[in-house]
Structure 1
Amino acid sequence: MILSSVVKTAIALAMLGYSAASPTPSSSSVADSHPTVPNELTLGVKQVPNILNETAVDANQVAKGYSLTNVTATPRGLTGLLNLKGATNIYGYDFDKLNLTVTYQSDNRLNVRIAPVNLTDVYILPESLVALPKVEGDVNTFEFENSDLIFSYDSENFGFEVKRASTAEVLFSTKGNPLVFSNQFVQFNTTLPKGHQITGLGESIHGSLNEPGTVKTLFANDVGDPIDGNIYGVHPVYYDQRYDTGTTHGVYWRTSAIQEVVVEDQSLTWRALSGVIDLYFFSGPDPKDVIQQYVKEIGLPAMQPYWALGYHQCRWGYDTIDDVKNVVENFKKFNIPLETIWTDIDYMDTYKDFTNDPYRYPTDKYQQLLEELHSNNQHYVPIFDAAIYVPNPNNATDNAYTPFHAGNESDIFLKNPDGSLYIGAVWPGYTAFPDFLNNKTQEYWNEQFKTWHDRIPFDGIWTDMNEVSSFCVGSCGSGRYFDNPVHPPFAVGAPATSYPLNFNVTNATEWASISSAIAATASTPVPEATSSSSSSIDSKNTLAPGKGNINYPPYAINNAQGDHDLATHAVSPNATHVDGTVEYDIHNLYGFTQEKAIYNALLNIAPDKRPFIIGRSTFAGAGHYVGHWGGDNSADYDMMYFSIPQAFSMGLSGVPFFGVDVCGFNGNTDMELCSRWMQLGSFFPFYRNHNVLGAISQEPYVWESVTEAAKTSMNIRYLLLPYYYTLLHESHTSGLPILRSFNWEFPYDKKLSGIDNQFFVGDALVVTPVLQPGVDKVKGVFPGTDEVYYDFYTTEKQNFKNDKNETLDAPLGHIPLHIRGGHILPTQEPGYTTTESRKNPFGLLVALDKDGKAAGKLYLDDGESLNVTESLYVDFVAGDNELSVSAFGDYKVEQPLANVTILGVDKKPEGVKFGDSKVNYKYEKGTVYITGLEKYTKEGAFAEEFTVSW
């Protein structure tokens, strides 16, 4: 929850002289007379990003490169010494000697590491922060012929190449391009084949393909989902899918540095502003193979609790605990399933972490609501911000904020270079930032979360603003925290003025009134802005000694803030950690390290339960601890569309438990958009509706048609909970994403590359959403020459043809959903909550392929234990007119099997048997409906092996 479009507008007005002195908090017990963070403290030094600067030096054209000497073979590869051929010192001073180490870590993984011989002032990313891939097997032996990767090099003008042995194709080559290795600028180039298919390099709002001309800035950023700009997460890995050879490989640069990647027609240029080159090549050869190989090394995804799959409701603007209670009651009134209710910063006492407002969210009423929720098997998740309020020591009431004093006494906050406390500004005013490199921070975190949970027994944590964000530039609170509490430097809570595409058509009368109001407001004259602190620079102190000029590095990245300053809306690069590490080197890790600390704090509260955390800023390996939501999107069709490639990007980055704010966060949604999005969101792993303060309410019960649409798709989701939970477990154990792109499922058909308007759920379901207004049909493709697809709603076999763009009926309230033949889906009768659903009878949905075969699986456990001691695995296999079901494991399922539905049966069976017993069935249009199986499975659906024959 960062800044809505309205708030962004307010910031612009504030910069132009409006509202800066009198922000309007809509839900705070702080009096309006309190001061505001001065506007001039929010303005960074205007940068000119190098990629936008035609006069910037092209390092590739100027650098002299290195020569390779002292090459020595090792049992696992080789080592060598790189000698600088001539210093150019373009963006920092060049290192004259580098060590090269090449290691075959496994049959499918190769590591190339290049680092200065003198590591003084060079940041080396420790294994304690980010998982370090290790050599597999005996470190002293390796059968090189078992690897499909071949490393070669040129010595005089150093460059290296990685080839695939089985196809002889060049996967990666820096030959012909000089290596640049300076203290503040590292660059290498690799060739790419023409017509390449590069994915990854998230997180950004972009299509799944990184087409020529794409520039990815890898710098965690608190900004509201700009298309193509850098946003919350950093995942320095790309996947290169080659359709001519039918292979895919991956390249991971294990670095936390500020990075930039430029994808051109036949090349990829990768830059970093610090650190060393630590590349890992994964050989695949299929996309799913590469994803699993990569995710296994960074950390397999967390197994989410079963209840995480239910529907979640939130908004910024539930002003009181009574508002929250009313929302919960309304969901029940309209019989819309509600698993979890969330609250944004409204619940806090003047926006301070670990607090609740004593008037709007009094503890007794708060606790009473949570008790009611828990008694109804529902859950509660509050937001949590990254910064800790610094109280005013001259105000006794304000100074009674224990979380700050406990942290300050333990000395666990970030510092300025001179050792003083680094104080930025976030929602409550001037704030300090926990240092997660400090060993004492975890103990502090445990204590604060435990105390908070004892008072407000939440069920999970939503962690926000952890890029890490600050509303001012630098340690602006130093010497000013005596003004606390201060308001944010922008207006908060103004009415949202944007509406979705087509709103003027579907809501013509309302739009006419709105347009008049907007026009009247727009006529107000606005004075021009002036600022003495926004002078433009390209670089400063290019050859600054040591680590260099870390606040204004000589190479300027295209950071998606108005002035591009690295410290704008972020903690300054020179903020210093306990061991001397500067934020410049590990800014991209702040959210990741915070999320790990929260994960451990929740384990301290409930050691045996899986922590549930949804985080905003992620890094390679974050999925091992948290799920992720797509950040501050907007209520428009473009953002609904981009949610799909964003899900693909997070999936291949090892963060499969992902969803976006359905119906949109910023701006106002409308009935049509919300109806479509509620249905699309119901198929994402994480399913939550959330919107901004100042916008209209968008709970699904606001519109009758949205209520019906939501209930339709929710019913399907809850019916398929066993299937989704099985996919969660598969992801947890293998690294495979839950939502899958067509080019992962059919990796040899280039025509499927870049399809971002459809997706698979697992291998079995195809979702084809409507992503534009005012239509009642949608086009989609259904790939595979020999594949069979069935309409989920009618169960009828479809006459789809491979390579044809099919037109599907999609009236408002209907989202096309198809089952891929050859798959068996476990189902369970839906209940109001996941707990109720788990008490209901099971069913099986058998979709036969063209040969009359199908297979599937089911995984179950208690749904919450961190260390599972009892689990159940069930295999389903169908063929030759018989379904066989076998189970193993010691987790007991008491619910019976109620029905089996078999799709794709060409003619009516003469009879159907469950084991040796004849059972009742119905046959319609190629589908066999078998019901009344409860009496044969009274001991539990899978207590014994059984067969169904027809």
Structure 2
Amino acid sequence: MSRLLPKTAFALGLFAGATLATTAPVPPAATTQVTAERIGDGIAAFLPPGVTAYPHSLALLRTPEAEGAVPADWPIRPRFDRHDGKTRVTVTVPQGADLYGTGEVTGPLRRNGESITLWNTDNFEYAKDDGKRLYQSHPWVLGVRPDGSAFGVLFDSTWRATLATGSDIVFESSGPAMPVIVIDRASPQAVLKGLAELTGTMPLPPRWALGYQQSRWSYTPDTRVLQIADEFRKRRIPADVIWMDIDYMDGFRVFSFDPKTFPDPKRLNRELHARGFHSVWMIDPGVKIDPGYKVYDSGTAQDVWVKDAQDHDYRGTVWPGAVVFPDFTRPQTQQWWSDLYMDFMAQGADGVWNDMNEPSVFNVDGQTMPDDNRHRGGGELVPGPHLEYHNVYGMLMVHATREGIQAANPDKRPFVLTRSNFLGGQRYAATWTGDNASTWDDLKLSIPMSINLGLSGQPFSGPDIGGFSGVATPGLWANWIAVGAFYPFSRGHTIKAPQQKEPWAFGPAVEQTARIAIERRYRLLPYLYTLFRQSSVHGVPVMRPVFFADPRDPQLRAEQQAFLLGDDLLVVPAFAQHPALPQGIWRTVSLVDGDRADPLQATLKVRGGAIVPLGRIVQDSNENSFQPLTLLVSLDARGQAQGTLYEDAGDGYGYRHGEYRLTSYRAERQGDTVKVSIAGREGRWPAAARPLVVQLITDAGVIAARGKDGKVTLQLPRAH
């Protein structure tokens, strides 16, 4: 039996430095050599001296199983040692390799020469450590060699750590020695698929979650929420979701509603649904200490709270005042938390927003609970200090949240947004990049931040469009929405302040820029949904770096203004200065009347050889946008193009049982005509009898034709 196979070894204390249960058996003699085993195609696991079995991992889907010895010529091998009381792992970076990933931090897309702290932190305006520690931790580095081949290094530790990426990748942890997994494959895309094999993929979200979303701290009272919804519809600006921040609660008590300002949440949700909107409501982890408040009383009765070093319930201060925090390492606590969503979701809520879950604690050093607080564990999680579980507190919370929403609405796909998370947390929640500011710097930073989150396994992310804090100028907000319409998660949000930041708040010109930008997103929903499905299956990002177009082109490696959506669409913000763009055929396209004339709109280019599916402009995703379906066709040098379209019910789980349709389209030039046909279909979703519009994008302009889906022929103009 392989030394990597036993899953219970960590729980029994066989992992060096683990907290031992009093009944744990005596561990076997420690090894003195690094254990290296293949655990997948191009994937190797390295166990440090003293570790005899792969521990239970919160980052990984399952405990790795060994498949044989690592080849002698394996190029990336970690070195383990202790340094100044810390565990240190060193990985030599291959000559000329460019580094990426490292999760959610500020800084450039290319991570060479960076140093970050992996310690989830409430970091308003990214002020602490210049944003080098934020709300999430991803102990992961992606490397791309000059020849385009790639590798990834996963440091499987939840403890507080630093990660430096110089000539060596150096990971220093305050915890015990940890396993290191190395993926080595032919391309960065293949490495990310390997990461997804290890840590899982994002579940396919409901289609409405891909629409534009509007938030504020806070829209209150409930009549104001409906005013915002009506304003979107009156002004014909597409939108799908309105968000409720903490002011809907009764004294900031989670799972409660203010009886004066939100007296009937079920009615509010019903009226939002009637207008074509979904709603997402905030739930924080801190539970107000208030005897008679049923959440506090039931949690106390079941002894669910995190303990301090003296084994008392730890008390901190957050929005409600004095609070206690659920200990999500305990299966009983997870079940208790999940059960709270049954009544909450019965009010008609569509999604949940877990915030402040680093966890954030006011008025204390470090803005979180003490390192020596106690988590009692259970199941596969051993008891341990907060120092061990801090970075996964938010991840454990959103896992329990997702389970609760799923149990409450078993026929719907859950939508959860979280501020705090950990590597692998894409399995449970989407994310946004926290409390940014209304500055040009934060607008420009948002692109490499979102790309690197995708390169760290989290494809569903985006910043607060327009900036959370501070005053946005009309020009800044207009530029932000013009590019923000293409983030995977597209939400405008702002702090509690006099300035309004809805699309119409900056005057008619900015409103029109916003309308065009958001309409472009809605036309792209068929393409975006196809990309999200691809990501949910294979783990590739939705928002991709430009160098994915050609990983061997060194000129593309540092480009962080322009980006790709999938493989076929290139987004170049209006503010981009001298962007490095991929070679080959990339043709500029128009999606909405006026988008080429508005100087603030991002330029969109379609790759030669691609077919991009489009819908019509709709006001929300409940409308059928596929009547007609439009295919943008851009032929390659051989006169050919291919593309796919994924369709299903948009919610529910029928797609898991074949109730979907994945259509492959093909275009081919034949003399003076271009024929567009269906190359193949997958799934049992009935074929739609719908008109099809084909727009052939050429260097000379657009040639359009109409016909039936899969049977369109375009006549090319004869050369004179």
Q: Quick check: TM above 0.5?
A: yes
Aligned twin of 1:930: 705
Structure 2 residue aligned with 1:251 = 153
**Matched ranges for 1:40-59 at <5 A:** none
How many angstroms apart in 2 are the aligned matches of 1:638 and 1:861? 39
Distance 2:226 2:570 in 1: 37
Alpha-carbon deviations, 1:297-355, whole Å to 9, x = none?
A: 10111111101111100000323112212111111121111211001111111111111
Q: Deviations over 1:248-301 (max 9, x none)?
A: 11111111111112233x222211110322011101220101111112210111
Q: TM-score, normalised by structure 2?
A: 0.89
**What is the distance in 2 between the residues matched to 1:709 and 1:75?**
55
Corresponding residue of 2:332:
440
SS at match of 2:282: strand
- C-alpha change, 1:872 and 1:471, in structure 2 (3 Å) is same
Secondary structure of the 2:630 match is strand
CA 1:75–1:292 in 2, change beyond 3 Å: closer, same or farther? closer
**Aligned residue number for residue 788 of structure 1:** 585
Partner residue of 1:574? 372
- Match of 2:61? 131
* In 2: Cα distance, 1:821 partner to 1:280 partner: 37
Query: How do residues 545-560 of structure 1 correspond to structure 2 at under 5 angstroms?
Result: none
Matching of residue 235 in structure 1 with residue 134 in structure 2: no
Shift of 1:195: 4.6
The AA in structure 2 aligned to 1:400 is G
The question of whether the paired residues in 2 share the 8 Å contact of 1:820 and 1:847 is answered with yes
Aligned partner of 1:646 among 421, 441, 449: 449
- Distance, in Å, in 1 between the alignment partners of 2:363 and 2:153 is 36
Does 2:630 match 1:843? yes
Q: Quick one: structure 1 residues 150 and 247, their matched pair in 2 at CA, closer, same or farther if it must change by over 3 Å?
A: farther
- The 5-angstrom pairing of residues 12-91 of structure 1 reads none
Query: For structure 1, which runs of at least 5 residues remain unmatched after alignment?
Result: 1-71, 77-82, 84-94, 152-161, 164-170, 392-398, 474-566, 773-777, 796-807, 907-924
Q: Compute the displacement of 1:207 (Å).
A: 1.0
TM-score where L is the length of structure 1? 0.68
Q: Which residue of 2 aligns with 1:263?
A: 165
1:837 positional shift: 3.8
SS at match of 1:211: coil
Q: How does 1:473-622 map to 2 (within 5 A)?
A: 473=364, 568-579=366-377, 580-622=383-425
Measure how far apart 1:889 and its partner are. 2.1
The answer to whether the 8 A contact 1:640-1:771 is kept is: no
2:362 corresponds in structure 1 to: 471
Q: Deviations over 1:655-701 (max 9, x none)?
A: 10111111110101121111111111101111100000124001001
Tell me the secondary structure at the aligned position of residue 222 of structure 1. Answer: coil
Q: CA RMSD in A?
A: 2.7
The structure with the largest alpha-carbon Rg is: 1
- Are 1:770 and 1:810, in contact at CA under 8 Å, matched by a contact in 2? no
The 1:239/1:390 distance shift into structure 2, 3 A limit, reads same
1:831 and 2:618 are equivalent in the alignment? yes
Instruction: Summarize the alignment of residues 656-675 of structure 1 with structure 2, pairs less than 5 Å apart.
Output: 656-675=459-478
* 1:884 equivalent in alignment to 2:677: yes
Cα distance, 1:809 vs structure 2? 8.7
**Partners of 2:639 and 2:91 in 1: CA distance:** 47
State the AA in 1 paired with 2:668.
Answer: G
- Residue identity in the other structure for 1:436: F
Q: Is 1:368–2:267 an aligned residue pair?
A: yes
- Paired position in structure 2 for 1:856: 643
2:568 equivalent among 764, 769, 773: 764
2:37 to 76, 87, 103: 103
Structure 1 residue matching 2:504: 3-state secondary structure: helix
Q: Is the contact between residue 520 and residue 591 of structure 2 (CA under 8 Å) also seen in structure 1?
A: no
Task: Report the CA distance shift for 1:832/1:432 in structure 2 as closer, same or farther (over 3 A).
Answer: same
Shift in alpha-carbon separation, 1:118–1:737, aligned structure 2, 3 A: closer
Equivalent residue in structure 1 for 2:288, among 389, 406, 424: 389
1:871 paired to 2:636: no
Aligned 8 A contact 1:275 1:585 in 2: no
How many Å apart are 1:129 and its aligned residue? 6.9
SS at match of 1:607: coil
Distance in 2 between the 1:198 and 1:867 partners?
40
How many residues align? The count is 677
Match for residue 304 of structure 1 among 199, 205, 216: 205
- Residue 197 of structure 1, CA deviation: 1.2
Residue identity opposite 2:273 in structure 1: H
Letter matched to residue 331 of structure 2: N
1:127-150 per-residue CA deviation (whole Å, 9 max, x = no partner) reads 4674345237xx5xx4x6xx7x54
Note if contact 2:564-2:570 (Cα within 8 Å) is conserved in structure 1.
Answer: yes
Counterparts of 2:30 and 2:615, CA distance in 1: 65
The aligned residue for residue 350 of structure 2 is: 459
Q: Compare 99-108 and 217-226 and name the one that shifted more.
A: 99-108
1:827 maps to amino acid: L
1:65 counterpart residue number: none
Match of 1:735 in 2: 539
Amino acid at match of 1:220: N
Structure 1 residues 318 and 246: alpha-carbon distance in aligned structure 2, compared to 1, 3 A threshold: closer
Q: 1:765 to 1:128 in 2, by over 3 A?
A: closer
**Structure 2 residue matching 1:585: 3-state secondary structure:** helix
**In structure 2, distance between residues paired with 1:73 and 1:320:** 60
Q: Which position in structure 2 is the counterpart of 1:683?
A: 486
Which residue of 1 is the match for residue 259 of structure 2? 358
Q: CA deviation at 1:228?
A: 3.9
% of aligned pairs identical? Answer: 27
**Secondary structure at 1:189's aligned position in 2?**
strand
Q: Distance in 1 between matches of 2:452 and 2:215?
A: 24
2:9 matched residue in structure 1: none
Partner of 1:31: none
What's 1:409 paired with? 301
Cα distance in 2 between the residues matched to 1:402 and 1:125? 38
Match of 2:46 in 1: 112
Q: Give me the whole-angstrom Cα distance separating, in 1, the residues matched to 2:349 and 2:122.
A: 26
User: 1:173 Cα shift?
Assistant: 5.8
Contact 1:839-1:895 within 8 A present in 2 as well: no
Instruction: Tell me the CA shift for residue 425 of structure 1.
Output: 1.0
Match of 1:277 among 178, 182, 201: 178
Query: Cα offset for 1:189?
Result: 2.4
Give 1:461's aligned amino acid.
Answer: V
**Partner of 1:38 in structure 2?**
none
Q: Counterpart amino acid of 1:231? A: L
Q: In structure 2, what residue type is equivalent to 1:466?
A: N
Partner-residue secondary structure (3-state), 1:836? coil
Q: Tell me what 2:245 maps to.
A: 344
With over 3 angstroms needed to count, the CA separation of the structure-2 counterparts of 1:107 and 1:600, relative to structure 1, is same
1:200-248 Cα offsets, whole Å, 9 max, x none, are 1122111111232x211111111122444200111111011111x3321
- Structure 2 CA distance for aligned equivalents of residues 641 and 355 of structure 1: 38
Is residue 2:91 matched to residue 1:326? no
Task: Choose the corresponding residue for 2:118, options 215, 218, 221.
Answer: 218
1:757-804 per-residue CA deviation (whole Å, 9 max, x = no partner) reads 0001111111111348xxxxx5333312xx112111299xxxxxxxxx
Q: Displacement of 1:194 after TM fit? A: 5.2
CA shift for structure 1 position 893: 5.0
- Paired position in structure 2 for 1:721: 525
What code does the residue aligned with 2:418 have? G
Letter in 2 for 1:736: V
Structure 2 distance, partners of 1:238, 1:771, is 29
Map 1:142-161 to 2 at 5 A.
142=68, 150=72
Matched to 1:819, the amino acid is: V
Q: CA deviation at 1:638?
A: 0.7
CA gap 1:192/1:719 in 2 versus in 1, 3 angstroms: same
Greater RCO, 1 or 2 (C-alpha within 8 Å, sep 6+): 1
